[in-house]
């Protein structure tokens, strides 16, 4: 299997399967001398891990303890490859015995089987959302690097289960189970998700992400525009089915005079329909994008499918699964955004002489 590495200079490779012994990442290209905050690393892992409260989240209970194996000495990065391991301890592989020869609708079971002629049916193997724990570990180190440059990233649930936030108060994000910036909307989201759980169904949503402190000039035209790299990063997350920047698809309904962000003294933009990016290069203000997250495909309803002989059959999925991915995918979105921006930041050092 190829395609397990992301980045040009800040390069992240992930490995492992949902029901294997462990998952992990190797980070190559992280500069030496970055403060390696292990407490922050574990904090990021805890934000994504399963077994937390709420109807939206799977009951699988993993500690997701991040073990740093290399690349850190006396609290700082050494410039050598950083290896992080996350061991599995609460996998229930027997939950998947009844689907060993059946393809789950909405999952990668069929496509993996057609590509490789074999698949790990225990939770989806490498196609499982559990793979993202390794991304979050790598993203924590990217955030440590970006913090020294004054760059921060904040993502939150903008919409879930058809319920939209009507206000944005970032102080509320970590105070509700949906990680929404609108506590009133979060309560309605949670109620709807509890209803869907009882019905054996699931929900999707929209995550908004704001990147602050990025200087003007990041992005590598033509093929590695900052929005193109961020889109690559986001669409590499299994449940993400779409992305838009700034005004996004709404821009198609605007005129040029409405969509253009006029400029004021000292290069201050009057609006941000462009999402902080022009010509694939950051312009120095907030980078804003949104991603569409599909409903969790593992639902507790009988569905029609085919088996490995391509014969029609029915399937009923067992085990422990999320009902809505929004709360747990937020740290993944932040992690991949951090990795993308960290890589472009390091690449930008060669763009011009001082």
**Residue 106: how many CB atoms within 10 A of its CB?**
15
Statement: residue 82 has pLDDT above 90: yes
**Domains of the chain with CATH codes:** 5-348 (3.60.150.10)
- The pLDDT score that the predictor gives to residue 312 is 96
Binding residues for NADP(+): 48
Q: Token pair of 259, please?
A: 């969509």
Listed in sequence order, the residues at least 6 apart from 281 whose beta carbon sits closer than 8 Å to its beta carbon are 216, 217, 218, 219, 221, 225, 226
The arrangement of strands across the sheet holding 66-70 comes to 5-6, 11-16, 22-28, 82-87, 66-70
312 burial type by CB count under 10 A (0-12 exposed, 13-18 middle, 19+ buried): exposed
DSSP 323: S
Average pLDDT over residues 304-324: 90
Binding residues for FMN: 126-128, 279, 294-298, 320
3-state SS, residue 292: strand
Tokens 């790598």 identify what position? 138
- pLDDT tier at 126, thresholds 50, 70, 90: confident
Angular region, 315: left φ>0, alpha ψ -120 to 50, beta rest: beta
Query: What residue has token string 């040009």?
Result: 8
pLDDT at position 165: 98
pLDDT at residue 193 is higher than 80: yes
Range of weakest confidence among 18-27, 83-92, 217-226, 232-241 = 83-92
Tell me the per-residue pLDDT of 256-304, one tens digit each, with 9 for 90 and over. Answer: 999 999 999 998 999 999 999 999 999 999 999 999 999 999 898 999 9
| 59 pLDDT higher than 70 | no
End-to-end CA distance of the chain: 41
Q: Facing residues of 82 across strands?
A: 27
Annotation: binding site? 48, 126-128, 279, 294-298, 320
Q: How confident is the model at residue 318 (pLDDT cuts 50, 70, 90)?
A: confident
Cα gap 288→305, rounded to integer Å: 39
* Contact predicate 236/125, CB 8 Å: no
């Amino acid at each position: 299997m190829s395609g397990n590495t992301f980045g040009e200079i800040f390069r992240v490779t992930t490995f492992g399967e949902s029901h294997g012994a462990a998952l992990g990442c190797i980070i190559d290209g992280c500069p030496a001398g970055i403060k390696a905050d292990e407490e922050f690393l574990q904090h990021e892992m805890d934000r994504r891990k399963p077994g937390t409260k709420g109807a939206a989240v799977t009951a699988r209970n993993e500690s997701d303890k991040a073990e740093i194996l290399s690349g850190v000495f006396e609290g700082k990065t050494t410039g050598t490859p950083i290896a992080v391991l996350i061991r599995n301890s609460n996998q229930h592989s027997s939950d998947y015995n009844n689907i060993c020869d059946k393809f789950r609708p909405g999952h990668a079971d069929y496509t993996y089987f057609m590509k490789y002629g074999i698949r790990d049916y225990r939770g989806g193997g490498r196609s499982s959302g559990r793979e993202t724990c390794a991304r979050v570990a790598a993203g924590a180190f990217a955030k440590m690097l970006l913090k020294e440059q004054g760059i921060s990233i904040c993502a939150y649930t903008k919409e879930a289960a058809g319920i939209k936030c009507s206000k944005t108060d970032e102080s509320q994000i970590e105070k509700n189970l949906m990680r929404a910036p609108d506590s009133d909307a979060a309560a309605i989201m949670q109620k709807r998700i509890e209803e869907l759980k009882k019905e054996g169904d699931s929900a999707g949503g929209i995550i908004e992400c704001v990147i602050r402190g990025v200087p003007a000039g990041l992005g590598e035209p033509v093929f590695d525009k900052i929005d193109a790299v961020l889109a690559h990063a986001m669409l590499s997350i299994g449940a993400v089915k779409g992305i838009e920047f700034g005004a996004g698809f709404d821009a198609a309904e605007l005129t040029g005079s409405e969509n253009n962000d006029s400029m004021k003294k000292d290069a201050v933009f009057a609006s941000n329909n462009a999402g902080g990016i022009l010509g694939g290069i950051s312009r120095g203000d907030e980078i804003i994008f949104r991603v569409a997250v599909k409903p969790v495909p593992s639902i507790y309803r009988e569905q029609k499918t085919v088996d490995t002989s391509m014969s029609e059959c029915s399937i009923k999925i067992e085990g422990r699964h999320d009902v809505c991915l929004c709360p747990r995918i937020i740290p993944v979105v932040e992690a991949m955004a951090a990795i993308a921006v960290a890589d472009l930041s390091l690449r930008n050092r060669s763009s011009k002489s001082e």
